[in-house]
Amino acid sequence: MRAWRLYAAVAVGGFRRYATYRVATAAGVFTNTVFGLILAYTYIALWDERPGLGGYDQAQAVTYVWVGQGLLAVVAVLGGGFEDELIERIRTGDIAVDLYRPADLQAWWLAADLGRAAFQLLGRGVLPMVFGGLVFQLALPSDAGTWLAFLVTVLLGILVSFALRYLVALAAFWFMDGAGVQQLAVLAGIFFSGMTLPLNAFPGALGELARALPWSALMQAPADVLLGERTGLALLRTYAFQGAWAVGLLAVGRLVQSAATRRVVVQGG
C-alpha cells in the first residue's frame, strides 16, 4: 500500500507539474487546432477524390483528424515527456541517485508519465475536439459505452508509448547522447502511429506491417474504437493487441534496465 501511495503521489506531481505551464498548454492547443484545420480540409479534398478510403466515410475521416490532434500530446508521438529528463540524468550521472531511492525506477517514471498524460488529455485533448465539433460535422458516438472503451484504449496506448520512450531513454546508457535515437523514434511514431494518414489507408503489405507495429496502438487503435470500427470481438482483439505490446515492451524495458544499471559506477561506492 505504501508503494501504491508513493506512485500515486508521483502521478499527481506529474499532473501538477504540467499544469503549471499554462502558456505552453495554450500554445499547444492553438497549434493542435491550426494543424487540425489544415489536415481536416486536406482530408476533405482527399476523400472527395477517394470516397471510402481506408473504410472511412468523409465524416469519419475528419473525426479521425481531430481525435489525432487531441491525442497527439497525450501519447507523446513527438516526444516531450519524461525521456528528456531521464536521458539528461543518465548523461550527468544523477541516475545513480534515482537507483538509490526505495522505489522502482521504471514504475517511478511510469507514474510520472501517467500524470503528464492525464493533464494533456484534459488540457490539450478536449479543446481541439470541441473546436472540431463546432466547425465540422463529426462522427462522434452518442453512447457512453463507446467513450469508455475509447478511454481504455487511450490508457493502453499511453502504456505502449511510455514503454517505447523508456527504451529510447535507456539507450543513453550506451550512446550518452540520446538525440539520435529520439529522432528515429519520433520519425517512426509520425509514420506508423497514423498521425498523418490513417493506417487503414496504407496499401498492401505496408499497411499490414504498420498496423502490426506498436505505434499503431497509440492513435489508430483508439480512433477506430471511437469511430465504431472495432466492436465486440474486434474490440477485445484491440485490447489484447495493445495490452500485449505494453506488457512485452515493459518487460524488455526491465531487461534493458537491468543490463544498463550494471554499467553505473558511483564514485566512492
The DSSP string of 125-185 is IHHHHHHHHHHS------SHHHHHHHHHHHHHHHHHHHHHHHHHHHTHHHHS-THHHHHHH
pLDDT at residue 102, as a whole number: 82
pLDDT at residue 265, as a whole number: 55
pTM of the model: 0.92
pLDDT at residue 98, as a whole number: 83
Q: What is the DSSP string of 58-86?
A: HHHHHHHHHHHHHHTTTTTTT--STHHHH
Buried b / exposed e over 165-202, threshold 16 CB at 10 Å, is: bbbbbbbbbeeeebeebbeebbeebebbbbbebbbbbb
Q: Which residues of the chain have pLDDT under 50?
A: 266-269
pLDDT in tens, 2-11: 778 888 999 9
pLDDT at residue 263, as a whole number: 64
Nearest residue to 157 via CA among 108, 87, 225 = 225
pLDDT at residue 138, as a whole number: 92
Cell numbers of 263, please? 554499467
